Structure 1
Amino acid sequence: MALAWVLVANQSHARLFEADKRASELHELESMIHPESRLKGRDIYADAPGRTFDRSGEGRHAMGNYRELCRRPARDRFAHELAHALEQGREEGRYEKLYIVAEPQMVGSLRDALDPSTRASIAGETSKNLVGRKADEIRAQLPHWL
């Protein structure tokens, strides 16, 4: 059993690492890609956002943050997939502690998707997008003693 798992994720890519000892280096277990999250907003939804008139003028503009509205459902689905993998690993006793290193929006989506028992195993969170970094660079962002 590994002492700790480290999930490094953004909205479309995640990497799962393990550390066997409190000060050991990270070993990559798995890399997961969510192709749907890489699509452009217009490819996810064919319809454009509604439009409205300005209160004090003749101008019109789109309502809401269309980019975020398009990406949120895909991000949440990916977060649920990752949460399922983390829950399964915890239930199988494959780790004691969990560290999450993810871009800010993904940290919140992951936290919401995790069941209470898995959420309780989180020993630390870092709101950074380090998916493309080497394992030693990711390890440097974590506490020396896991």
Structure 2
Amino acid sequence: MAITWILVANASLARLYANFGPKQGLKLVKELVHPESRMKNAELSSDRAGQMQASGSGHGAREQQTPPKLNAAKQFAQALAKELYLGRSRNEFARAILVAPPSFMGMINANLDGPTAQMITDRLEKDYTKTSEPDLRGHLGNCMLV
């Protein structure tokens, strides 16, 4: 039977499960935690905005273009996409299901390479990271019947 990987993630926590077929349940393969995504922007930023000389007599402050918290989430999404890439390249799964909130789903999708993205058969835009395994199986029931 083909193995299905199920990645259940948000910006600070991801659980990777394997399913070995219909009614076979879920087996936790790996849990990844990204505490930086839970921190406040002020805690992630090392300095205050830098000073720059403006034309004329005034001074201006230059702000970072992307908030540090968003950068942290993007880095985590990149790490998760790499995890899926490595699993695909090692033939550890035949298809995958992604479960993540809409904004984080977009970040993961943006980091997936083409062949790995083609192996994603279902995408659920929900945050089920705090959902128990039996409840998660219930939410994924239709996806895992294939």
TM-score over 0.5 for the pair: yes
The residue number in structure 2 matching 1:44 is: 44
* Structure 1 alignment gaps of length 5 or more: 49-65
What is the root-mean-square deviation in Å for CA atoms of aligned residues?
2.1
1:99 pairs, out of 83, 97, 100, with 97
Cα distance in structure 1, aligned partners of 2:30 and 2:2: 14
Cα distance in structure 2, aligned partners of 1:120 and 1:108: 15
2:72 pairs, out of 71, 74, 81, with 74
1:69 shift after superposition: 2.9
Spell out, residue by residue over 1:61-104, the C-alpha distance to the aligned partner (whole angstroms, 9 max, x if none).
Answer: xxxxx9x8332111110011111111100111110111001111
1:23 shift after superposition: 3.6
Cα distance in structure 2, aligned partners of 1:47 and 1:117: 42
Cα distance in structure 2, aligned partners of 1:139 and 1:69: 35
Instruction: Give the TM-score taking structure 1 as reference length.
Output: 0.80
Q: Which runs of 4+ in 1 moved over 4 A?
A: none
1:105 shift after superposition: 1.2
- Percent of aligned positions with the same letter in both sequences? 30
1:38 shift after superposition: 1.5
Amino acid at match of 1:119: A
Contact 1:2 1:21 in 2 (8 A): yes
3-state DSSP class of the match of 1:141?
helix
Amino acid at match of 1:30: K
1:139 shift after superposition: 1.7
* Structure 2 alignment gaps of length 5 or more: 50-64
Cα distance in structure 2, aligned partners of 1:121 and 1:69: 32
The residue number in structure 1 matching 2:121 is: 123
Spell out, residue by residue over 1:28-56, the C-alpha distance to the aligned partner (whole angstroms, 9 max, x if none).
Answer: 111100121121111112436xxxxxxxx
Amino acid at match of 2:22: R
1:110 pairs, out of 108, 120, 126, with 108
Amino acid at match of 1:118: T
Q: How many residues align?
A: 129
Contact 1:12 1:38 in 2 (8 A): yes
Instruction: Give the TM-score taking structure 2 as reference length.
Output: 0.80
